[in-house]
Amino acid sequence: MSDKNDLAEDRTDWAEDRTVLAVERTFSSWVGLGLGGVGVALAMRAVFSTAEPTWVPKTFASAFLLIAIAIYWVARRQACRTYDRLSTHDTKSQTPRTFTWLASSLTVATLGVGGVLWSL
């Protein structure tokens, strides 16, 4: 009977490991969505570069950049919340600190893009 219990515990541990890895993939998808917002902002600036007054396309592009930043931090918050409830067993996962570092770095880079867009 002990072997069956051990196997059941192993399967439960592996399921938790799969969930942890799914959280990382979900975070990656959210980051991709945020970077898509940066792409939309750049495309708006390129397409509407001759529009007058110039602040109008810049403002809408900036809105997409702010949305991208919000997406980074929502993704980070959700990933960290889930990690607080889970533990890994047979897999090596990212730490919440890594998610924070990535969200911070992407925020700085996105703000840099915004600075460049406004300076053009």
Burial class from Cβ neighbours inside 10 Å (0-12, 13-18, 19+) for residue 8 reads: exposed
* Dihedral over Cα of 89, 94, 97, 99: its sign: negative
Per residue in 35-67, pLDDT (tens digit) is 999 999 999 988 988 888 989 999 999 999 999
Residue given tokens 């940066």 in the structure block: 38
pTM above 0.85, yes or no: no
Q: Is residue 9 scored above 90 in pLDDT?
A: no
Higher pLDDT, residue 2 or 111: 111
At 72 the pLDDT is 98
